[in-house]
Structure 1
Amino acid sequence: MTTQPQPGVPLVSGAAGKGFSSFTRRHPLPVFYLLAFFISWGGMAAILRAGHLTVTWAAAALPAGPAAAGVSLTALLYGRTGLRELGTRLRQWRVGPRWYLFALLTGPIVMATTAALVSMMFPGYYAGTTTLEGTAAIILGGLLVGLAVGILEELGWTGFALPRLRRRYGILLTGLIMALLWGTWHYPMFADSTDPSGAMPNAVIVAVFLFAWLPPFRVLMVWVYDRTGSLPLAMLMHAPLSAGAFINSFMASGTATGMAVLMPALLWGAAFWTIVAVVFLVKARRLRDANP
């Protein structure tokens, strides 16, 4: 595979306004992540404090953070030029069909296969609903949530952070850096995750939920964007992953204990890391063939 040009960083320098801090101009990535965390976690905390919503529903505020941080910093740092460049990437739909197939099917295939395996290993694991109407409602809700989350999150993660990291690092390291911050950003959603039996420590459960499967999938997302430069494709790739996680959480009976609690996330991680390994092995072989 050949290295593609890295889109996403406007060819302008400096801030749009004279009063914009020099620190932000020099360190846009740390500022972006600080803003994304502050808006997301602060919004979620405000919703929980003001009402009686559960953490699951209050987490709807999280995707606003990366979207707001990415767009606002683009406008402040690069002005209209930056916003036009962002708009151009948002219209970048023309990529090969194989990329759409990979982006849209990788997550669902892995998650559906995993659900079948978990059901065989732990009968009754997915007994959160027993009616056709309930199952259909969960799936529809998951699809809608996944699409909204994919659009908003990737407007910041891929729209702002990825191109700047990619200028410095390779695909793997860029993906791992993003995944570490991405997983940490999700912490409020999983902070209260527990094993009903008490056999599995809370810290282990949270760590597995956040870091067993998100890193390899983010590496794959960086690779796809590196090859296509398509921001909408990144959003579409993220959407089924979030939809699958939503559906999995609502379909689970909540009675699993011990290793069963961790099994879906561990299997997702194993599958995604296997795909990452295949991608990089094929890439290495093509490089060898091109440079005998």
Structure 2
Amino acid sequence: MSSRARVIPVTIDTRPAPTGPEEGRGSLRGSIRRSPLTWFFSLAFLLSWAAWTPYVLSENGLGVWHFAFPGAGGSSQLLGVLPGAYLGPITSALLVIGVTEGRPGLRAWRRRMTKFKVSWRWYAVVLVSVPAALTLSSVALADRGPEMPSAVVLAAFLPGLLLQMITTGLAEEPGWREFAMPRMQRRYGPVIATLIVGVLWGVWHLPLFLSDWGGWPDVNATEPLKFVGSAIALSFVMTWVFNRSGGSMPLVMLLHCGVNNYISIAWSDMFPTLSSDDTTHAFLLSSTTAALILLVATRGRLGYAPDATKAAKAANVTQRL
């Protein structure tokens, strides 16, 4: 494993699979093969929002249904939120890949999802930079330094990060980043693709603001907008990490889950004088700053190397001939 970070081209074949006579223009399979991205985004929203409807309507949300989701430690999110998250992006990606690419595509998806072999420096950068950026933005808001985290927080930090990886990270990133981003970048380029995926990723969460996940009923009308803005900004950082690491999904998931884990476990302990609303402000400030720095430093390329990707794909085709 090299200790030097380098650009590794992402070689995902985005061409639709050929259709046979039985899969004509009027068939469902043919439609998915012609428009895989449209089907992925539509299914991701439909499946998640349908699964979240009971949670939103329950006592954990609008209170239309007189039923409350049970939860450990006073949190109902494990049973209320996670099923819809798993039914959305990851399930939609697997369904579309299965239809458009078959078993070879699913095997390639599994290889990309387990691409742990990247430079150790990438892991160090993600593990250090995420809490550092969130701490600096919180210091700016609090106008004072952070307090030393307690022993309980320090002991729970890494287990919490692992739990986030197999819940939030595994539920969301195989769809938004692993499936959608390579295809969107080939069509629109890195900036427009990131903007589209970032907007859709943020909007996908919106029904949850009508539940205790989003602090209902004490939700400020601007909170969802600020959340979507933060999701867009963070998406630019994630695109850069995705492209520069050659599409390492464990690394991308670590970046996403590092934000959630810091806010869930360490933030209130380190900044007890800040309110829960300041969490959103700290997230928005840190992610926007990082996104602007990367856009300027990479001149909008965000580590994307289309020429290298085309050359690698051509080499793969030549090897198969």
**What is the TM-score with the length of structure 1 in the denominator?**
0.75
1:26 deviates by: 1.6
- Amino acid paired to 1:78: E
CA 1:104–1:11 in 2, change beyond 3 Å: closer, same or farther? farther
1:108–1:240 contact (8 Å) kept in structure 2:
yes
1:161 deviates by: 0.8
Deviations 1:170-218 (A, max 9, x none): 212111111000110111233465799x9xx83322211221x222221
| Structure 1 partner of 2:291 | 273
**Distance in 1 (alpha carbons) for counterparts of 2:19 and 2:260:** 34
Deviations 1:127-160 (A, max 9, x none): xxx9754x45874674244212112211111221
CA 1:75–1:260 in 2, change beyond 3 Å: closer, same or farther? closer
Identity of aligned pairs, percent? 27
**Distance in 1 (alpha carbons) for counterparts of 2:249 and 2:175:** 10
Does residue 1:40 correspond to 2:48, yes or no? yes
Count of residue correspondences: 274
**Distance in 1 (alpha carbons) for counterparts of 2:192 and 2:266:** 29
**What is the TM-score with the length of structure 2 in the denominator?**
0.69
**Distance in 2 (alpha carbons) for counterparts of 1:95 and 1:138:** 26
| Structure 1 partner of 2:136 | 113
Does residue 1:152 correspond to 2:171, yes or no? yes
1:165 deviates by: 0.3
**Distance in 1 (alpha carbons) for counterparts of 2:273 and 2:90:** 32
| Structure 2 partner of 1:8 | 12
| Structure 1 partner of 2:232 | 215
2:191–2:301 contact (8 Å) kept in structure 1:
no
| Structure 1 partner of 2:314 | none
**Distance in 2 (alpha carbons) for counterparts of 1:104 and 1:219:** 18
CA 1:191–1:278 in 2, change beyond 3 Å: closer, same or farther? farther
Does residue 1:224 correspond to 2:232, yes or no? no
Q: CA RMSD in A?
A: 3.9
| Structure 2 partner of 1:24 | 32
Deviations 1:259-288 (A, max 9, x none): 85753233223432343235325979xx9x
1:56 deviates by: 4.3
Deviations 1:206-253 (A, max 9, x none): 211221x22222112112222212222222222212223433676587
Comparing 100-109 and 173-182, the one that deviates more: 100-109
Does residue 1:190 correspond to 2:194, yes or no? no
1:159–1:231 contact (8 Å) kept in structure 2:
yes
1:25–1:77 contact (8 Å) kept in structure 2:
yes
**Distance in 2 (alpha carbons) for counterparts of 1:143 and 1:282:** 30
Unaligned runs of 5+ in 2: 1-5, 59-66, 306-321
**Equivalent position SS for 1:94:** coil
**Distance in 2 (alpha carbons) for counterparts of 1:45 and 1:67:** 19
CA 1:151–1:75 in 2, change beyond 3 Å: closer, same or farther? same
**Equivalent position SS for 1:21:** helix
Equivalent positions of 1:69-108 (< 5 A) are 69-108=92-131
1:86 deviates by: 0.8
- Amino acid paired to 1:33: F
| Structure 1 partner of 2:223 | 205
Unaligned runs of 5+ in 1: 288-292
